[in-house]
Chains A and B, each alone.
Chain A
Amino acid sequence: MTDVFTTTIVVATIASGIRLATPFLLAALGEAIGQRSGVLNLGVDGVMLLGAFAAYFVVLDTENVWLGVVAGITIGICMGVLYAVITVFLHAEQGVSGIGIYLFGLGMSDLLFQKLVGTPLPIDQFSEWSVPYLSDVPVIGVMLFQHSPMVYIAFLLVPVVAFILNRTTFGLNVRAVGESPESADSLGVSVRRVRFCTIIAGNALAGLAGAALAIELGIFQQNLTNAMGFIAIALVYFGAWRAPGVMAGALVFGMVGAIVLQAKTLGLIPRSASDIAAMAPAIITILALVVVANRFRQPAALTKPYFRGD
């Protein structure tokens, strides 16, 4: 038992939690941007799957992980245009449209995989990138600064998204449109244009999340994301639609997952409780959600299509 709590194990567990959190964080940041403008996208998981497949396919072909990342983002943007047209221009009901996007992504990514690839072959993975100097710091270095580039990108996006939402005119428009689209419209802010942009950005991040996942794992298979996108949506509520909150949610989810895995590996959780323990991240996230959620209100116009003159 003494070696259970060694620094190495603690460090490895925290690093593991950060890695687990990364795809959730990318997807949830994208979803948060969309929801702040009043658009719920339940299709995140489908877009992640398409992004994951696109990235996998491109890396398989070119052996260049960055081209894979570009492919994932590109697919995300395409799906964003589709979803924006459906929900913003055609005013379709967002819940059902999102589920449609999800089912499309789930089926289409598998179909393309079967037709274009067939047998799953491994692809190049990201190599870890040590941050100069910082990665040499004892304990912290290994924990925080020896990760794949996607981890840094995801966590750097947190302040970036927060800054855009809180300090730019575009962010002000986004917050206004999500809260009171008629007020924004009355001041000449184009509700359509703002929502179009946030949907594209959100889906691009979902595509990136999928690409990050596929390239991190070095493989694709049917339903690779295993409903990660839906967890990401829950994390947006957990994070009260704010980038740092979303990050906290993703980290809680990832850390609990990593701690449970570590405890199982070390035999601290009896085999008989193994399946129950596997639910811990979801249960703890839901509990936290219940505690946190009542303290914040969702954007007032969330899921509501905007019609001028009503």
Chain B
Amino acid sequence: MFKKSLVSFFAAALCSAASMSASAEALKVAIVAPSASNDLAFTQSIVDGVNALKEEFEIEMAITDGTFIVDDAAAAIRDYAKQGFDVVLAHGSQYGGSLKEIAPDFPDTAFAWGTSADTFGLPNVSAYEAMSNEGGYVMGVMAGKMTKSGVIGVVGPIEVGDAKLYVDGFVEGAKAANGDATVNVNYIGSFGDVALAAEAGRSHIANGADVMTGTAQMVVGAIGAARSKDVAWFGTQANQTKLGKKVVVASQVYKWEVILRDIFNDAKNGVLGGKLHKVDLANGGLTIEFNDKYSLDAGARKAGEEAMAAIMDGSLKLSH
């Protein structure tokens, strides 16, 4: 991992060298994120978000991924700021402490971090969060309608941040749609233990679950369990259809470009932070992407779409 940050460092150095010769107008954006940039989950969502804006902005992008060690991430954040990047995205709620120390040293750099709602009162830090409970609620409603056994399983990492928000929304939706359903929630205590997540999935199945969901990067294990036992799966953070073409019903996808657009525009206009940004169903920052190959019960899908509409027009208030 040390080697890796070193490689990324040189890559970043090359990028910045390249950007010197490129247009002076190019916006230099750096991403520091905990897992792999193609993880079909949290990290990939922010990379996809920046990539989606390459049409609108001239962007030089640099990535340091896989920095699950916070100290490595802090070093990368500081390096990018030193190299004169315009916007540094610290994509992980565990990076807040480091950012709070680093940002005051680079008053001309715009920092953004998430998922969080705290800007530390610093003028050059913005925070962003995803109202992932909204998509969670919608998929929970569908799960509640779908289940025949009346048991739904949820696999979570540790009960914090985005994972907690999503799971709470999902449970709320499932209960709203099917008051009799049992929703078993299992926080396995790890973001990285794929084997344990797989066994958590199997344990849900052994207890009768016929619909499951889960969040964070270790859920690929639980999806594997769902796949081998043919149990329906709802995904979040990215479109997980590729991980289980036969079992994935739908995924909540983060479209960070919606708020990144604001952050980038602000940065160009000299506003470096101080704001809180949110992606939600209403602003299009969250969408539900269905798997066309999965024959979803029409009634369940309808219930889901109705819930989505109700959240978007404000007629349905969630408990968060």
- List the interface of chain A (C-beta within 8 A of B): 8-9, 12-13, 16, 19-20, 23, 103, 106-107, 110-111, 114, 118-122, 125, 213, 216-219, 221-224, 226, 228, 257-258, 261-262, 264-267, 271, 274-275, 277-279
Interface hub of A8, A125, A278 (most chain B Cβ within 10 A) = A278
- Taking a contact as CB atoms under 8 Å apart, the answer to whether B188 and A265 are in contact is no
Closest to B164 in A: A271
Give the chain B neighbours of A274 by CB distance below 8 A: 158-159, 187, 189
Measured CA separation A217–B184 after assembly (Å): 22
A107 to B66: give the CA distance in the assembly, Å.
10
Chain A residues, Cβ within 8 Å of B3: 107
Residues of B within 8 A of A19 (CB): 199, 202
Pick from A217, A221, A224, A264: contact of B187, CB under 8 Å:
A264
- B19 within 8 A of partner (CB): no
Known: A226-B190, A226-B194. Contact between A119 and B38, CB under 8 A?
yes
A120–B38 touching, CB < 8 Å: yes
Quote the shortest CB–CB distance from B120 to chain A (angstroms).
Answer: 26
Bound-state CA distance A264–B199 (Å) is 12
B87 within 8 Å of A (CB atoms): no
Q: Could you tell me the distance between the alpha carbons of A122 and B35 in the complex, rounded to whole angstroms? A: 18
Q: Is B224 an interface residue, CB under 8 A from the partner?
A: yes
- B243 on the interface (CB 8 Å rule)? yes
B36 lies within 8 A of chain A by Cβ:
yes
B187 near A261: Cβ-Cβ < 8 Å: no
Distance (whole angstroms) from the CB of B212 to the closest CB of chain A: 11
Q: Which of B3, B189, B227 has the most CB of A within 10 A?
A: B189
**What residues of chain B lie closer than 8 Å to A106, measured between beta carbons?**
1
Verify if B161 is at the interface (C-beta below 8 Å from A). Answer: no
Within 8 A of A (CB), among B211-254: 217-218, 220-221, 223-224, 227-228, 242-244
CB <8 Å contact, B243 and A120: yes
Q: Is B4 an interface residue (CB 8 A)?
A: yes
Which B residue's beta carbon lies closest to that of A4? B207
| Across-interface contacts of B244 in A (CB, < 8 A) | 122
Q: How far is the CA of A13 from the CA of B202 in the complex (A)?
A: 10
Are A222 and B184 neighbours in the complex by a CB distance under 8 Å?
no
Could you tell me which residues of chain B, from 174 to 215, have a CB within 8 Å of some CB in chain A? 184-190, 192-196, 198-200, 202-204, 206-207
| Dominant secondary structure at the A interface | helix
Closest 10 CB pairs of A and B: A278-B189, A12-B206, A218-B224, A274-B187, A219-B220, A226-B192, A226-B193, A264-B186, A265-B203, A265-B184
Q: Are A261 and B153 in contact (CB under 8 A)?
A: no
| B13 in the interface (beta carbon within 8 A) | no
23 contacts between A and B (CB under 8 A): A16-B206, A19-B199, A23-B195, A103-B1, A106-B1, A119-B38, A119-B242, A122-B242, A125-B228, A216-B198, A217-B220, A218-B227, A219-B194, A226-B196, A261-B196, A261-B200, A264-B187, A265-B186, A265-B200, A267-B185, A274-B158, A275-B187, A278-B189
Chain B interface size, under 10 / 10 to 19 / 20 to 34 / 35 or more: 35 or more
Contact of A16 among B1, B2, B159, B199 (CB under 8 A): B199
Residue of B nearest to A279 (CB): B189
Contact for A257 among B1, B36, B184, B199, CB less than 8 A: B199
Chain A residues with Cβ below 8 Å from B153 are 265
| Among B1, B192, B204, B221, contact of A107 (Cβ-Cβ < 8 Å) | B1
Chain A residue at minimal CB-CB distance from B44: A119
Q: Which residues of A contact B207 (CB under 8 A)?
A: 9, 12, 265-266
Contact of B66 among A222, A262, A279 (CB under 8 A): A222
Q: Is B39 an interface residue (CB 8 A)?
A: yes
B52 at the interface (CB under 8 A from A): no
Contact A110 B195 (CB under 8 A): no
Q: How far is the CA of A275 from the CA of B187 in the complex (A)?
A: 8
B203 engages A16 (CB within 8 Å): yes
